[in-house]
Amino acid sequence: MLPSSEEYEISVEQLSELRDDPEAPSFRLIDCREDDEFSFCKIDGAELRPLSNFAEQATNFLLTDEETPMVVYCHHGMRSMQATLFLRNKGKKNVWSLAGGIDQWSEKIDESVPRY
């Protein structure tokens, strides 16, 4: 299940369970790293929305999708928390930052994802 809207982070274990659960609600997985990082490695199914132009994209793309929950990730979780806070401040409540980012995902969930 997704965390409550009172929480700001989701663990890699929670995300893995969510992805594996056919009964889980649909959600969008947003990668807020930059193009070169995304080309090096990514979590399957992620959409690239770099933090460097996140506000512009959020206005045109992310904020128009009010209903679908989102999980945002980056390398270690700092940029994704910034993106999460930005979206929360714009009124989107169902958005969470992936704690530890893709680095923790690679270490604990999917070792085939390269670390850097």
Structure confidence by residue, pLDDT tens digits, 38-70: 999 999 999 999 999 998 888 777 766 778 999
Distances (CA, A) of 91 to 35, 45, 69: 27, 25, 13
For residues 15-36, average pLDDT:
96
What is the pLDDT, as a whole number, of residue 63? 66
What pLDDT does residue 75 have?
98
Q: Are 28 and 70 in contact (CB under 8 A)?
A: yes
Output DSSP code: residue 60.
I
Task: Record the tokens describing residue 34, joined without a space.
Answer: 């930059």
The answer to whether 32 is a known catalytic residue is: no
Lowest mean pLDDT among 11-20, 44-53, 62-71, 98-107: 62-71
Question: What is the side-by-side order of every strand in the sheet holding 28-31?
Answer: 9-10, 95-98, 70-73, 28-31, 47-48
- pLDDT of res. 106: 98
pLDDT exceeds cutoff 70 at 83: yes
Mean pLDDT of the chain: 94
Q: For position 52, what pLDDT does the model report?
A: 96
pLDDT band at 2 (very low <50, low <70, confident <90, very high): very high
Domains of the chain and CATH, by start = 9-109 (3.40.250.10)
Candidate list 70, 74, 95, 102, residue with the active-site label:
74
